[in-house]
């Protein structure tokens, strides 16, 4: 028996990214790739679960995963559109941020030439790298095209429903509404609330305005006097009083008559 021991192959380290677009969707379908990765011999260093649109570049778990990446690691996802539905330039910047950590993507549907490239040099290596980049760009663009096609079909469907008088708007999301209310009441700004609740600032303003008006009515204030958040809170006694500059310059009934009466 040879005294030399065969060197064991280095363990491949993977970080797995799971994403769905909305709270109503379930990540369970994607969980199978964790078992598959381990079965393929990967050591799974991290699992990142996210409920956010792939058309957003500021996804917290995605950014955390990129920050955690170490040289030689592999990013695994169910499909390329789980990683990105961004416009191609932004998608390429995202992929570049992964490659800059000396990590790579391993996604079904995108041919991985990294092992073959590592065994070649000179012109053949350059050619293989160019092919790999082209295949990846094609996959990223297809993911974006699919996203835009879905949006366009949705828009057309809404227009048809409106024309038929059947459109009732987007269904309310009680969970998100309660989250927005809780965040605002805890003192978070509109923009910070929108970020934490994964919605737009305009949606936060609309929800908070509805809550403010409802509280004003419950406390006996006139709805007309509670046209803004500050007014509503002031009307209920929970906020600061209206500035004198914002209060209409109207004298109480009869005050003008009394003011016009001097000493007789």
The domain segmentation of the chain, as residue ranges, is 12-143, 174-246
- Asked if residue 110 lies in contact with residue 136, where contact means CB atoms within 8 angstroms, the answer is yes
Nearest to 116 by CA among 103, 131, 105: 131
Yes or no: is domain 12-143 CATH 3.10.20.90?
A: no
- What pLDDT was estimated at residue 218? 65
Measure the CA–CA gap between 60 and 30, rounded to whole angstroms. 19
> Digits of tens for pLDDT over the chain (264 positions)?
444 455 556 789 999 999 998 776 888 889 999 999 999 999 999 999 998 899 999 999 999 999 999 999 999 999 999 999 999 999 999 999 999 999 999 998 787 777 777 777 888 778 888 888 898 999 999 999 998 998 888 888 888 888 888 777 666 678 888 888 989 888 889 888 888 887 878 888 888 888 877 776 665 544 444 445 554 455 455 544 444 444 444 444 444 444 444 444
**CB neighbourhood size of 211 (10 A):** 17
Compute φ and ψ for 250, nearest 5 degrees.
Answer: -120, 130
Distance CA 242, CA 231 (A): 7
Give the integer Cα–Cα distance in Å for 47 and 210. Answer: 38
- In three-state secondary structure terms, 139 is helix
Q: What is residue 220's predicted lDDT score, i.e. its pLDDT?
A: 57
- Residues 253 and 250: their CA atoms lie apart, in Å, by 9
Q: What stretches of 21-163 adopt beta strand conformation (E)?
A: 42-51, 74-77, 104-106
For residues 81 and 50, is the Cβ–Cβ distance under 8 A?
A: no
Half-sphere exposure of 91 (CA within 13 A, CB side): 23
Query: Which pLDDT value is given to residue 245?
Result: 44
- What pLDDT, on a 0 to 100 scale, did the predictor assign at position 142? 93
Place of tokens 């007309």: 224
Question: Quick one: pLDDT at residue 62?
Answer: 95
Query: Contact at 8 Å (CB) between 66 and 102?
Result: no
* Residues with active-site annotation: 21
Residue 172 main-chain phi, psi, to 5 deg: -65, 150
Q: Would you state the pLDDT for residue 7?
A: 55
E-strand ranges in the chain read: 12-20, 42-51, 74-77, 104-106
Q: Please state, in angstroms and rounded to a whole number, the distance separating the CA atoms of residues 109 and 92.
A: 17
> Between 122-163 and 88-99, two packed helices, what is the crossing angle to 10 degrees?
140
C-alpha 88, offset from chain centre:
18
CA atoms 251, 256, 258, 264: torsion sign: positive
């Amino acid at each position: 028996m040879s005294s030399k021991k065969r060197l064991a192959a280095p363990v491949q380290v993977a970080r797995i990214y799971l994403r769905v677009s909305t709270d109503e969707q379930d990540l369970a379908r994607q969980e199978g790739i964790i078992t598959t990765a381990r079965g393929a011999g990967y050591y799974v260093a991290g699992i990142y679960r996210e409920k956010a649109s792939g058309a957003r570049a500021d996804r917290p778990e995605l950014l955390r995963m990129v920050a955690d990446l170490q040289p030689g690691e592999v990013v695994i996802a169910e499909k390329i559109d789980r990683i990105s539905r961004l416009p191609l330039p932004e998608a390429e910047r995202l992929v570049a941020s992964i490659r800059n950590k000396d990590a790579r993507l391993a996604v079904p549907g995108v041919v991985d030439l990294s092992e073959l490239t590592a065994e070649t040099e000179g012109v053949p290596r350059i050619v293989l790298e160019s092919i790999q980049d082209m295949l990846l760009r094609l996959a990223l663009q297809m993911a974006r095209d699919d996203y835009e096609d879905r949006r366009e079909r949705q828009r057309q469907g809404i227009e048809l429903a409106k024309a038929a008088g059947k459109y009732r708007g987007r269904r309310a999301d009680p969970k998100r509404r309660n989250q927005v209310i809780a965040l605002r009441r805890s003192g978070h700004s509109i923009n910070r609330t929108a970020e934490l609740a994964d919605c737009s600032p305009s949606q936060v303003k609309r929800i908070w305005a509805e809550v403010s008006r409802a509280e004003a009515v419950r406390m006996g204030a006139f709805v007309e006097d509670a046209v803004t958040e500050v007014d509503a809170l002031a009307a209920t006694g929970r906020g600061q009083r209206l500035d004198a500059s914002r209060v209409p310059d109207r004298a109480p009934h009869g005050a003008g008559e009394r003011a016009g009466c001097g000493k007789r």
